[in-house]
Chain A
Amino acid sequence: MQNTNDIILKAINKSYQKGDNTVVVHDDFNLTIKSGEFVALMGPSGLGKSTLLHLMGGLDQPTQGEVLIGGQRIDNLPQKKLTQWRAENIGFIFQSHHLLPVLTAQGNVELPLALTPLNRKQRKQHASMALQLVSMSERADHYPKELSGGQEQRVAIARAIVSDPKILLCDEPTGNLDRKTADEILALLAKLNSDSGKTIVMVTHDHKAAEYASRVINLESYILSQNNSLSKNEELLQNIEPEVDDISIGASS
């Protein structure tokens, strides 16, 4: 139990104080994502999908509630430990790749390994392996400006997985790509999920993208169903069978 990588958001409240106004983004929000799942998180803009992703990755802290990953609370970790934890456990993939233009694909992928005790040669090896996983080995020496959008996103994925994190958090990873390229990227993510056992949480607006996931959460109806359920907290904490958590679009448990 403790060694798995379940992501548990427990009674999350996230709000922003703007002068006298309090903007509540999430209130008493609960969600469990099992280790090894590929979850697509959908829903209208502004509902707090990115916010959830940031909370799971320790980029943001909840106003109230707990974020547990693999049994460990990360919402109250001191900044230094959190940074280190993130380097070891989380890979982020964003809509824009944010690759460094002055580094080659290889250099970009090697960058996160500067955070590990690996030596130069090992770093090279790991980066090459990651590039191979995303089928970009031939382009290792190319600079981002010499790559297509899809290729850049592949490199960004390689960068996210190079330190072998168990969890990948993707915020609209195919938002900038055409259908064909998007499908390639999604297939790649599905492969990383099935072959390498990565737990993936992907925010997307694309219904076709969601088809690649093992579970789709429509945030709007999920929140509704949560509010209708009276004993939701206990349910979430005690019932760990997939059927209970598997809330499909529009349905309530």
Chain B
Amino acid sequence: MSNSFEHSLSYIEQFFINVKQAQALTVINFKSFPQRFAASLVSILSIGCVAAVILSVLAMTEGMMKTLAQSGLDNTVLIMRAGAVSELQSVMFPAEMNILANNSKVIRDAEGQAQVSAEMFVNAEVNFTDTSGQQVSKSLALRGISATTMKFRPNFKLVSGQLFTTGVRQLLIGQAIARRMPELSVGENITLGGAQWQISGIFSDDNSVFESELWADIGMVQSDYQRGNTIQSVRLALNNIDDLVSLEKEWQDDPRLNIRVITEKQFFAEQGESLTRLIRWLGFPVALVMALGAMVAALNTMYAAIASRSKEIATHKAIGFSPFAISTSILCEAVLIALVGGVSGILPLYLVFDGWTAATQNANSLSQMMFNFDINLKLIAQSMALALLIGLLGGLLPAFKAMRLSVTEALRD
């Protein structure tokens, strides 16, 4: 028997033997998992909570980014007053718009009309009676639009009702608002800044951010909000978006203009980033604290598991299982707990919330913007990875303890 021992195993052989041993023990641990399910429940649930919170934060920001990304056409350029971060902060004059519109790089239609849209954008205090007869007041984004605005919104569709009549206090409401406030239906009257407005229709725009706005005739908005003939932003379409760099330089050098030039896509992406950052700043610390808690729970569960199985572990060692194999099987068990926990957190969220509309406060406009939870495979994988990591870290110390467990001591008591 000593001769069988004289050949020394290579490291690779040794490794595969270890893996095989770990596999055998892991299979056994998994088989007994149903019996220990109750004891592992706290770990499972706390890991599940972490996975759910992380997935919510990720899904919310992802949905937001998606919504914003759908909001701009490739060749649309947004012009605001220099220094304005949002349309709300911007003021522009008709003369400026004329200079912009006269540029040859802007698209023109058959009649030679430049594709330029002047827009107002205000925070409107909206008062209406809700279904229970209660008087409610909401802050909503009101956009004053002109005839050309629709050309920038190829996905615009009337869901019900009709367009507003120019020169009349009528407005369209975005589908996202209509969904959340069913009392705002076509034909209803609402109060905006003291004046009565009538809802003429409801529109959709391929889930873009505009679905969270009220649209009305720019002239009516200018007069109701005492803006004279000033506007807030200008959208224009370029023949070739690659001209933007030279065009921006040309306009920046023009002493008559003092403007900020940005593609609409870029503008919304920036807004999305600041919102995303805000949500993550709020969400991630919470998730981190919960993750630590879940890790401690997993640690506890695994410590208890190896304590109750110390004789079993000692027997395995006496039989000749390697400490590596034993601790690996403990780690696998911790990861299994994390896996079950992850599924228990992610699955309900997926079933209930995928596509659910969640409302957030737009950090810039403070108006209600509606976003979709967007739960996709990438986010599920990320949340699951975190859950598994928690299990792995929580199992590390117990696995180490099992590795160090003294057979003689375990067998003696």
Residues on B lying within 8 angstroms of A by beta carbon are 1-5, 9, 14, 17, 20-21, 23-24, 28, 31-32, 35, 311-312, 314-315, 317-323, 407-408, 411-412
Contact = CB atoms under 8 A, between A and B. Distances in A.
A94 B410 CA distance: 12
Contacts of A50: 408, 411-412
A92 B320 CA distance: 10
Nearest to B29: A102
Given A80-B322, A83-B321, A92-B318, A102 B31 contact: yes
A115 B311 contact: no
A84 B2 CA distance: 12
10 A-B pairs with the lowest CB-CB distances in the bound complex, closest first? A87-B320, A114-B24, A98-B315, A102-B32, A102-B31, A70-B2, A92-B318, A86-B320, A72-B2, A59-B407
Interface of A: 2-3, 5, 50-51, 54, 57, 59-60, 69-72, 79-81, 83-90, 92, 94, 96, 98, 100-103, 111-112, 114-115, 159, 166, 171
A168 to B, nearest CB: 12
Given A83-B320, A88-B4, A100 B408 contact: no
B222 to A, nearest CB: 77
**B interface: dominant SS:** helix
Given A54-B408, A59-B318, A114-B20, 9 more contacts: A69-B2, A79-B323, A80-B14, A94-B315, A98-B311, A98-B312, A100-B28, A115-B319, A115-B320
11 contacts: A83-B321, A84-B322, A89-B1, A92-B319, A100-B28, A101-B32, A102-B31, A111-B24, A114-B20, A114-B21, A166-B1
A89 B5 CA distance: 10
B325 to A, nearest CB: 9
A112 B408 contact: no
B319 A87 contact: yes
A196 to B, nearest CB: 14
Nearest to B321: A115
Contacts of B9: 84
A174 B3 CA distance: 33
Nearest to A101: B32
A24 to B, nearest CB: 16
Of listed B320, B407, B411, residue having the most chain A CB within 10 A: B320
Given A94-B411, A98-B311, A103-B28, A71 B2 contact: yes
Nearest to A166: B1
B319 A112 contact: yes
A87 B408 CA distance: 17
A57 B311 contact: no
Of listed B14, B21, B411, residue having the most chain A CB within 10 A: B411
A87 B4 CA distance: 12
Contacts of A59: 317-318, 407-408, 411
A86 B2 contact: no
Contact of A60 (B312, B319, B322, B408): B408
A96 B24 contact: no
Given A80-B14, A94-B411, A2 B2 contact: yes
Given A79-B323, A98-B311, A166-B1, A57 B318 contact: yes
Contact of B318 (A2, A3, A86, A103): A86
Contact of A83 (B23, B24, B35, B322): B322
Contacts of B2: 2-3, 69-72
Contacts of B323: 79, 83
B40 to A, nearest CB: 15
Contacts of B321: 83, 87, 114-115
A73 to B, nearest CB: 10
Contacts of A69: 2
B17 A115 contact: yes
Contacts of A89: 1, 5
Contacts of B28: 100, 102-103, 111
Contacts of A83: 317, 320-323
B315 A88 contact: no
Contacts of A115: 17, 21, 319-321
Of listed B35, B312, B315, residue having the most chain A CB within 10 A: B315
A98 B17 CA distance: 23
A54 B320 contact: no
A96 B319 contact: no
Of listed A71, A79, A85, residue having the most chain B CB within 10 A: A85
